[in-house]
């Protein structure tokens, strides 16, 4: 990196830090059981919901309890379970089409960070149907309000349910990029312990490494500022 670019980056970081208190950062409203979602949907008159997850989550039956509540309250749900470990633009477009075809009004990201990031990107594409994800990469390029977005983490430590970022991989070039904007923060996060304890022990132990990396990131002055100012609770072991 040349001196001019380095200087630009430093100035940008300092200006951004000064601007943070005036930006619309928010914390998602927290539920502690998936059963609470039916009341939320009835209150908001939502009948059709898209659930974005992966094959493993569906295979292990982690969706079953939530689906039982939906069926009991006559809430229609449509499941996209093809999300891969690093969600691709193909994943996003397939899920987006499922949302449109079934006239959905809400999106649930159910799983690890990949499923939640995919759900965020789907919301961004629905909010801005004429703009590709590639043109939204970077900082503050979404702007528009997303459909009702709910994050249900199944692992201890992804933290994606509280962040304004989604990391997506271009299906053709394999280029990975981040989309960062305030509308990507989920409106609700469901931190249901019955979901996380349902994971196989091997997966639980593997995902526990994530908080270790987040502790390192958490030392960033900007992240610490957001935590101290807004009081958001980030997953820690």
> Is a pLDDT exceeding 80 seen at residue 229?
no
Question: What would the mean pLDDT of 49-58 be, rounded to a whole number?
Answer: 96
What structural domains does the chain harbor?
Answer: 24-230 (3.40.50.1970)
| Rounded alpha-carbon distances, angstroms, from residue 38 to 14, 111, 128, 174, 194 | 43, 19, 28, 38, 17
- What is the pLDDT, as a whole number, of residue 198? 66
Full-model pTM: 0.82
- What is the pLDDT, as a whole number, of residue 217? 45
Show the DSSP H helices in the chain as ranges. Answer: 3-19, 36-43, 55-59, 64-72, 89-101, 113-127, 193-196, 201-207, 209-218, 221-230
- Output the CA torsion sign for 171, 142, 81, 198: positive
Question: What would the mean pLDDT of 44-50 be, rounded to a whole number?
Answer: 97
- Output the CA torsion sign for 166, 112, 52, 87: positive
Question: What would the mean pLDDT of 70-99 be, rounded to a whole number?
Answer: 97
- What is the pLDDT, as a whole number, of residue 160? 86
Question: What would the mean pLDDT of 114-126 be, rounded to a whole number?
Answer: 97
Residues 6+ apart with CB under 8 A from 15: none
- What is the pLDDT, as a whole number, of residue 9? 78
130-181 residue pLDDT tens:
999 999 999 899 989 999 999 999 986 668 898 999 999 999 999 999 999 9
**Between 54 and 194, where is the model more confident?**
54
- What is the pLDDT, as a whole number, of residue 129? 96
Look at the block and give the residue holding tokens 């996060």: 189
């Amino acid at each position: 990196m040349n001196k001019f670019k380095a200087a630009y980056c430093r100035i940008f970081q300092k200006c951004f830090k000064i601007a943070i208190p005036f930006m619309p950062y928010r914390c998602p409203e927290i539920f502690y059981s998936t059963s609470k979602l039916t009341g939320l949907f009835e209150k908001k008159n939502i009948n059709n919901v898209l659930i974005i997850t992966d094959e493993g989550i569906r295979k292990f039956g982690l969706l079953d309890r939530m689906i039982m509540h939906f069926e009991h309250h006559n809430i229609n749900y449509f499941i996209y379970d093809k999300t891969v470990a690093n969600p691709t633009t193909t994943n996003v477009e397939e899920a987006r089409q499922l949302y449109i075809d079934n006239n959905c009004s809400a999106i649930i990201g159910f799983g690890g960070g990949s499923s939640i990031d995919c759900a965020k990107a789907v919301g961004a594409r629905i909010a801005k149907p004429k703009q590709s994800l590639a043109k939204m990469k970077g900082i503050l390029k979404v702007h528009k309000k997303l459909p009702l977005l709910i994050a249900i983490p199944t692992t201890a430590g992804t933290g994606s349910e509280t962040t304004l970022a989604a990391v997506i991989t271009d299906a053709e070039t394999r280029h990975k990029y981040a989309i960062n904007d305030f509308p990507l923060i989920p409106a609700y996060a469901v931190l249901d312990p019955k979901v996380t304890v349902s994971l196989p022990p091997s997966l639980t132990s593997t995902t526990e490494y994530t908080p270790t990396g987040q502790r390192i990131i958490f030392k960033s002055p900007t992240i610490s500022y957001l935590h101290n100012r807004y009081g958001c609770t980030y997953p820690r072991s």
